[in-house]
Structures are given as C-alpha cells and as structure tokens.
Chains A and B, each alone.
Chain A
Amino acid sequence: EAGVVQSPRYKIIEKKQPVAFWCNPISGHNTLYWYLQNLGQGPELLIRYENEEAVDDSQLPKDRFSAERLKGVDSTLKIQPAELGDSAVYLCASSFSGERTDTQYFGPGTRLTVL
C-alpha cells in the first residue's frame, strides 16, 4: 500500500513569491491534515479536512495561506506571498475517521526555504 505522497520534496524561493505544495493521502483515508514543522519542534496543525470540508483551519494564516481539497482526495497548500519566516517543513498526513484515536500517517514533507 502506498503511503502519503507529497511533492515537491524541496523548494527554494525568494520572499514575496508564491509557492504550492501537493499531497495525495492514503487511499480510503477521508481525513487530511497539513502541518508545519520548525526545526527542533513538533508538527503544528495548519488545517484539517474531513472529505472536502475544512473542519479546522483556526491555525491557518489566512492572509497568505490557502488550501483546497477538491473531490475529497488530493490537497494543495499555497502560500502567497511567502515570507522569510515561512521557511519550515510542511507535512501532510491522513487518517481514517472511523478510528476513534486519530492515528495519523505522515508524508515525507516539503522543506521550504525562503530567501
């Protein structure tokens, strides 16, 4: 079974440029998460989707970040414009909401460097 797929793995951009990250969750997982992870820290939730619906986006900086999950499968996270402080690893995870314990399966992440 394929795991969570993310692309690109690495991205280097200059500040004020836009950037987008793509995630394909595990087949059958209806819940999808985007996390941000800074060096030496644990993942921090940005947004959670149940199927196509964003059910928790309270930590998403909506002035510059946006996300979508069309058809309830793949998802895209966008930053526009990027700032220096956005340099981090962006992780995508998925889970099956039928489990009551929210065990999450993570992709390898996209390491973003903003210059």
Chain B
Amino acid sequence: SQKIEQNSEALNIQEGKTATLTCNYTNYSPAYLQWYRQDPGRGPVFLLLIRENEKEKRKERLKVTFDTTLKQSLFHITASQPADSATYLCALPLGSSYKLIFGSGTRLLVRP
C-alpha cells in the first residue's frame, strides 16, 4: 500500500545551522510533492511545490529536492531561526486525482 514517512522524532538544531527534513514514500509515483508548515493551533500553510521533472526548487532560505529514484524529498532551511520552529508536512497527490495524502510531519526546534 502507499505510504509516506517523515521522521517522527523532533529535529533540534542551533540557530544559524541548516535544517534538513526528510520525506520518503513508497508505492507512489507522484507528479509533484508539496511541503507545508504547521504551527501549534493553526492549519498547515503551503510553502513549496516541486514537480517530478524538477531536481531542486528554492524559495528564499528554503530548498526542496525531489529524487524520484530514491522516492525521497529533502527539505532544507538554511540559516535557521527560532521563528522557523514548527511542524513541517510533506504531501503527495494520490494518482492523478486532486487528493493529497499528508505525512505525519516532523517537528523542527531551532534553539537561539
């Protein structure tokens, strides 16, 4: 069956370092992959989308890679700040439908 895996353990890093979060999937061939940020008590907020024919996508301090061979996406935040502390979710479309399947998210804690 289709499965999305994100590290359930929180990632705890020092301010200024690069945070790298992982999203692995099995039994999918998604046309694209999305990353969302979720703060406590709020709904997820869309950050970035990367398509299957794109290796890398950047937006300010954010970078996403998409390796369809490894079935993995990496999400990087460079020069991390305490304000980046949140849960980050990856999401993939189910087949050719508009139905997004979300991972369980990884919590990032950036220490000042």
Binary interface encoding of chain A residues 96-114 relative to chain B, with 1 for a CB under 8 A from any of its CBs, else 0: 0100011111111101000
Interface string of A39-78 (1 = CB under 8 A from B): 0111111001000000010000000000000000000000
Chain B residues, Cβ within 8 Å of A95: 98
A4 interface hit (Cβ, 8 Å): yes
Majority SS of interface residues in chain A? loop
CA–CA, A56 to B101, complex, Å? Answer: 14
Place the interface of chain B in its size category. 20 to 34
Shortest Cβ distance from residue B87 to the other chain A in the assembled complex, whole angstroms: 9
A102 to B89, CA, bound (A): 15
Whether B89 pairs with A42 at a CB distance below 8 angstroms is: yes
Report the minimal beta-carbon distance from B44 to chain A, rounded to whole angstroms. Answer: 5
Interface string of B73-112 (1 = CB under 8 A from A): 0000000000000000101010001111011110000000
- Chain B nearest CB, measured from A46 CB (Å): 11
Whether the Cβ atoms of A40 and B8 lie closer than 8 Å is yes
Residue A24 lies at the interface, judged by CB distance under 8 Å to chain B = no
Q: Considering only CB atoms and an 8 Å cut-off, how many residues of chain A contact the other chain?
A: 24
- Closest B residue, CB atoms, query A6: B43
State which of B8, B41, B98 has its C-beta within 8 Å of the C-beta of A31: B98
* Closest B residue by C-beta to A50: B98
Whether A104 touches B46, Cβ cut-off 8 Å, given contacts A42-B89, A48-B98, A97-B98, is yes
Docked complex Cα distance between A76 and B76 (Å)? 37
> Bound complex: CA of A15 vs CA of B26, how far in Å?
38
Cβ of B32 under 8 Å from chain A: yes
> Is B98 in contact with A42, judged by CB distance below 8 angstroms?
no
- Closest-by-CB residue of A relative to B100 is A102
Q: Are A42 and B104 in contact (CB-based, < 8 A)?
A: yes
Bound: A34/B89 CA distance, A: 17
Chain A hits for B41, CB < 8 A: 108-109, 111
> 11 interchain pairs (CB within 8 A)?
A31-B98, A43-B102, A44-B102, A48-B98, A56-B99, A101-B49, A101-B93, A106-B44, A107-B43, A109-B41, A109-B42
